[in-house]
Chains A and B, each alone.
Chain A
């Protein structure tokens, strides 16, 4: 990474829920307190922000003092768990107003945490949540399919994908199948 890349906003990566759910590896770029945290997805790209479009099927308001919302966003492959807390007031105000079910676009940061029984849970800390339409959802599936296939095309040749291979033992054909299945759901 070049130094000036640090000042450029990180792109929001496109990833399907079934791949996102498998994510467990994270690392910090640099030693600085403010250095960004990245996860590496199984198809081999680092990410500290993602863009998701799907159906918000449920939301729950939680917490007494520190109010936050949990939500579930469904894509053709599975479920994203969304969190919106007071640290991101914009996202919290937005989700509070949305009536489920609704097509939503979520921009947020991948968040990994270990449960007491040693399981790794992956969620999205939302920066914003907005209501969109079905066409936007379909466009996102195409976009995410394309980005995932692009990653698979160079799998094993990039630093991040070699790391993914090491951490996850990724089988590219499995992810091609996931992409294919996701695409076939658009036509319905």
Chain B
């Protein structure tokens, strides 16, 4: 019945994009429309709006994205704005503070955002899975991500069931702090070192890998090793410049199929040619969410003097393959295994040695400088955040190959 309509809509969307210089794929447009309409019960008008918006973003044509009244798609909202949105409550998390009545995640077809309702706002509690129109909320930034604040000037009204939508899946390498949905495979299941933790490990998709954690909570289940999951609305957290996924806000559903996890794209082999200051034993700010490294005088650039610092080990270095020199950053676990010293040993050496923390810097430097390593990890702000690092070993086969290349007849 709507076959006719879908091809008309496809044509209309294609022309719109073509008039802006893009070359859209009609088949793709039609199959996306069909998926929304047939599988997800979206009406044709909304499907047209959604697909147009998605393609406009993919072709980098922001002007094509339709805006209706003052209602804003969630993924376009930036901190500092007053906004009106309509969305579905896709996650509610317990509040640990009496000043916070509710916190969770609200989503529309464009994206998702964390929200917090102040107790003082005195607004009705929102229910999981229901739709709301939220007027005059303010968006600020919490740990680098936009966060919707519902205060006493905000109006909340429950809506009829909204338009069904599929959470949009983001490639792991493109995740940003905030809320994200991924389709990923469980590639590593690590030992749990914390009694509140249910599971931790590594998830991967075609684009890369990311650490995940599930905290113990009623009803939360572990992921199966090697399983493929659709994970909707996980919290994307940033720690020391590295992203991780907390699955407690998320809904995760086992999926069919397998994923070829993309890891090789970010593997480098080279000589470690420089160990930067700030490597070795460092002190970190204990203020929750800060974690900055402190100066010699225990001074945090944000929180000033912090005598109750905690120690950490890290390595900031340059790995150079002869063609390119790259900054790499390694965290405690890797430093411990490369240098053969545990954090506890490092602390006791530093506390009893006249050189103090410098002694650890020298030990770290002397054991890695000038040696060959293979490192893999993700790039972040011009630096590789190393997930694994292994010393290169001599392989006779490589010698044979090079001898052949150099021309064996010389002897």
Contacts and interface: CB of A to CB of B under 8 A. Distances in A.
Contacts of B365: 130
Contacts of B393: 135
Contact of B403 (A8, A12, A184): A184
B321 interface: yes
Contacts of B402: 142, 145-146, 149, 179, 183
Contacts of B274: 9, 107, 127-128
Contacts of A138: 394
A12 B271 contact: yes
A13 to B, nearest CB: 6
A147 B398 CA distance: 13
Kindly state the interface size class of chain A when it binds its partner. 35 or more
A105 B320 contact: no
A186 B406 CA distance: 14
Interface string B314-325: 000010111111
A10 B325 contact: yes
Contacts of B405: 149
Contact of A12 (B322, B327, B369, B392): B322
Contacts of A180: 403, 406-408, 410-411
A107 B370 contact: yes
A181 interface: yes
Interface in B249-299: 271, 273-274
B371 interface: yes
A176 B407 CA distance: 7
B399 interface: yes
A109 to B, nearest CB: 12
Contacts of B325: 8-12
Contacts of A147: 322
B322 A11 contact: yes
Interface residues of B, number: 30
A126 B154 CA distance: 64
A176 B408 CA distance: 10
A36 to B, nearest CB: 13
Contacts of A53: 370
Of B271, B322, B371, B394, which is in contact with the most chain A CB atoms at under 10 Å from its CB? B322
A97 to B, nearest CB: 10
A138 B323 CA distance: 19
Interface string A14-29: 1000000000000000
A105 B370 CA distance: 5
Contact of B324 (A11, A106, A130, A136): A11
Of A53, A176, A183, which is in contact with the most chain B CB atoms at under 10 Å from its CB? A183
B21 to A, nearest CB: 27
Nearest to B269: A143
A121 interface: no
A85 to B, nearest CB: 19
B165 interface: no
B410 A176 contact: yes
A128 B368 CA distance: 12
A51 interface: yes
Contact of B410 (A11, A130, A146, A177): A177
A49 to B, nearest CB: 8
A139 B392 contact: yes
A147 B320 CA distance: 13
Contacts of A8: 324-325
B318 A142 contact: no
A10 B371 CA distance: 18
Given A131-B366, A183-B402, A105 B271 contact: yes
B372 interface: yes
Contact of B394 (A106, A135, A176): A135
Interface in A39-92: 51, 53
Contact of A179 (B323, B327, B370, B406): B406
Contacts of B323: 11
Contacts of B271: 12, 51, 105, 140, 143
Of A12, A127, A132, which is in contact with the most chain B CB atoms at under 10 Å from its CB? A12
A180 B369 CA distance: 28
B370 A183 contact: no
A9 B371 CA distance: 19
B399 A132 contact: no
A106 to B, nearest CB: 8
A184 B366 CA distance: 30
A5 to B, nearest CB: 10
Given A9-B318, A9-B325, A181 B410 contact: yes
27 contacts: A8-B325, A9-B274, A9-B327, A10-B325, A11-B322, A12-B271, A12-B322, A13-B322, A14-B322, A53-B370, A105-B370, A128-B273, A128-B369, A130-B366, A130-B369, A130-B370, A131-B366, A140-B271, A142-B394, A143-B271, A145-B406, A146-B402, A176-B407, A177-B407, A177-B410, A179-B402, A183-B406
Q: Which 10 A-B pairs have the closest CB atoms?
A: A105-B370, A180-B406, A130-B369, A9-B325, A130-B370, A179-B406, A180-B410, A107-B273, A11-B325, A14-B322
Given A12-B325, A139-B394, 10 more contacts: A51-B320, A105-B271, A106-B370, A131-B366, A143-B322, A143-B372, A145-B406, A179-B402, A180-B410, A183-B406
